[in-house]
Chains A and B, each alone.
Chain A
Amino acid sequence: MANTLFDKIWDRHVVQHVDDGPEQLYIDRLYCHEVTSPQAFEGMRRRGIKCFRPGNIFCMPDHNTPTHDQDRPIEDPVSKTQVDTLARNAEEFGLEHFGMMNPKNGIIHVVGPERGLSLPGMTIVCGDSHTSTHGAMGAVAFGIGTSEVEMVLASQCILQQKPKSMRINIEGKLGKDVTAKDVALFLMSKLTTSGATGYFVEYAGEAVRDLSMEGRLTLCNLSIEMGARGGFIAPDDVTFEYIKGREYAPKGEDWDKAVEYWKTLRSGDDAVFDKELTFRAEDIEPFVTYGTNPGMGMGITQTIPSLDTIPEAGKASYLKSLDYMGFKPGQKLLGTPVDYVFLGACTNGRIEDFRAFASIAKGRRKADGVTAWLVPGSWMVYDQIKEEGLDKTLEEAGFEIRQPGCSACLAMNDDKIPAGKLAVSTSNRNFEGRQGPGARTVLASPLVAAAAAVTGVITDPRTL
C-alpha cells in the first residue's frame, strides 16, 4: 500500500510507467553546478533543443570557486573555463544563475534550502550525489549523472526505477556534544557504505525530530554515504518555521495553502517499509572515521577494529585502507596529532556549524602547527557569521573565515591538503586522495574538528 511519505511524493510525480522499464518522473527543481553540467548543455546544443521548463532550473558554481579573492578572476585557467562555461550556458538557455560574488552564491546544497528554493513535497535533482541534503525539507531529492541532467534540461523528467523504502528511527535523546554528523557517521558504521543501496530512507524518531533544520540537512546530506539514493525527514513546524519568509518561499495566501498541503506529507501510521531499523540515541558518541570510506567510523573513545573482525573478502581492502591512513588495527585515535582542520562543505558549512566550532574556540587558541580552513557554505552563512560576531570570536582564537564554496571537501580549487598530512574534516568523504593526492582524512563533527584545532590532536570535545 502506497502510504509511506516517499510513495506519496514519488507517485504524485510519475508521468507514466514505461513498459517493462522504469518510471518517467517529473522533476520540480534541477540545480546545475559547473562540474557535472557542461556535457549536458553540450548535448542539448548537439540536439539543437532548448530547455523544456527553464523556470525550474537554477545554476551556480561551487566546486571550483576559490575561497579567497573571489572578486578577482580565478587563477587556475581550467577552473575558470569551467565556471565561465556555466555562466555562458545559463545565459544561452535562459536559466537563473548565481555567479561568484552574487550574494546568493554558495554551495548548491546550502543555497537551495536557505533561499526557499527547496520545498516540502518537491522532487529535486542535481548532478551531485549530495543532493540528498534537500530531503531535510521533506522533499524527494537525489543525485544524478550528467546524462540525466541532460534529460531534465530537455524534458523536466528523468527515467528512474522506483527505489525501495527504508525507515530509520533514532529514539531517545542525543547526549552532550553528539550532533547530527555523529548520528550519520554512526549509521554508516552500522550499515556500511552499501547498506542502504537501492533504498530511499525516511529518518524518524525523537532524536531526529529534535534536530534543528541545519542538523537535519547534515543528516540527510550523508544518506548517500550509506549507499541510499536519498534520505528525508517529514516536514513539521521546524521545517515550516525555517522556510517562512525566505526569498523564494510561497508568500501570503500561497503560503497558507502550501503549509496546509505540507502538513499532509507524513507516512501513514499503517505505512509499511521494505526495511525498518531502530537505534538508540544514547548509544551514539562523538564519532571519527579511521579508514578510507565513511563507513569506517567509530566512537571517538574506541579502538580501530582488529583484523579478525573483518570478513575474508574484505581483508585486502581493509588493510589497504589502514595502510593508506597510517593506522593499525587496535589503535586508539585520541591523541593523534593533526595537521589540518577543515570546517565547511555541504555537510557542515551552515551557521549552526560555525556556532558550534566557535563555542569551543572561544577563549582558546588555535594550536601551533595546525592549519585551519573555515569555509562558510554560502555568502548568506558568511554574512550571518559576521552579524553574530562569530568572526570576532574566531579571529581572537587565531582562525580566519574564508569565502564560500566546496573547497577542501574535494579539493577541486586550490584548497588541497598536502600528501601525507592528516586532516580532521567536517566534510563527507574520506576516500583516498579526496582532499588532495595522498591526503589523509578523518571525518568528524564541527565540535570534534574544533577540539582538534585548539589542542592539535584528536580530542573528545566532551573533555574540554
Chain B
Amino acid sequence: MKQKFDTISSTCVPLPLENVDTDQIIPARFLKATTREESFFGENLFRDWRYNPDGSVNEDFVLNNPKYSGEILVAGKNFGSGSSREHAAWAIAGYGFRVVISSFFADIHKNNELNNFVLPVVVSEPFLASLFASIEADPKTIVEVDLPNQTVTNKATGESERFEINGYKKYCLMNALDDIDFLLENKDKTIAWEEAGKA
C-alpha cells in the first residue's frame, strides 16, 4: 500500500527463527487470489504456524500471544528465503507490520517489502541478539526506526545502529512513490536505448 514513511516507534513481535521462508509466511494454497486483498493475505500470515492442522489456534505461536504486538516484526537471519511470491510482503503489510528487522534478508523478498512500503531493516547479529533479549525481558520494549536518519534504536538499552538504503528508494518511501511511476516517466530513455540497436 502506498503510504509515506517517516519515523516509526513501536513495540515488536519477535520471531527468533532463522531461514523463515516465504512458504511459511504465506503457504502456496493462499496464493490463488487474483486481486491484492491485503486483509486476506494478512489473515493468513504464518497460517500453518498460527493454526493447528484441525483449524484451532496454536496458542504457542507468537502472533497468538497477547503479550506481543506492534508494527515491527523482528526475525532471525535469512528472512524471506525461497519463493518470489510478493503475497508474502502483502501478508506482512496486511497484518499491519510496517518494518521487519533482521540480520539478513533474502534478495527478492527484500525488494518485495520495499515495493509495498514495508521497510526491511538490516542490523548486526549482536544488535539482533540483544533486541531479542530486550523483548523477551520486556514485551513492551520500544524500537524506533528513523528512516530520514537511517537509524534503528532499541529504547530498552539505548543501542542504536545505522541501516543502509539507497537514496532513491528512501526518497520513494518518504514520498509514497513507486518504481512504476519512475519508469513510466523515463520511457524516452528506454526507447533511446532500443534505438541504439541494443535490443
Q: A residues near B, CB below 8 A?
A: 12-13, 15-16, 18-22, 24, 26, 28, 35-36, 38-39, 42-43, 47, 49, 52, 63-64, 78-79, 81-82, 85, 127-129, 131, 143-148, 150-151, 154-159, 161, 163, 192-194, 197-198, 224-225, 227, 229, 293, 295, 313-314, 316-317, 320, 410-412, 419, 429, 431-434, 437-438
Contact = CB atoms under 8 A, between A and B. Distances in A.
> Would you list the 5 A-B pairs with minimal beta carbon distance, nearest first?
A21-B168, A20-B167, A145-B86, A147-B115, A38-B34
A434 B25 CA distance: 12
Interface of B: 16-19, 21, 23-24, 27-29, 31-36, 48, 53, 76-78, 81-87, 89, 104, 106-108, 111-112, 115-116, 125, 129, 166-169, 178-180, 182-184, 186-187, 189-190, 193-194, 198-199
A159 B19 contact: no
B86 A147 contact: yes
Nearest to B104: A194
A26 B85 CA distance: 22
B23 A431 contact: yes
Given A21-B167, A147-B116, A151-B183, A85 B129 contact: no
B106 A194 contact: yes
Given A26-B193, A193-B19, A193-B81, A146 B86 contact: yes
Contacts of B180: 43, 47, 147, 150-151, 154-155
Contacts of B48: 432-433, 437
A265 to B, nearest CB: 15
Given A21-B169, A151-B179, A227-B106, 4 more contacts: A24-B190, A35-B31, A147-B178, A317-B17
Given A16-B186, A19-B168, A434 B76 contact: no
B26 to A, nearest CB: 11
A113 B115 CA distance: 30
22 contacts: A15-B190, A16-B189, A20-B166, A20-B167, A22-B168, A39-B35, A64-B32, A82-B32, A129-B83, A145-B108, A146-B86, A148-B115, A158-B183, A192-B78, A193-B81, A198-B107, A229-B108, A317-B17, A411-B29, A429-B21, A431-B82, A433-B48
Contacts of B24: 431-433
Contacts of B186: 15-16, 24, 155, 157
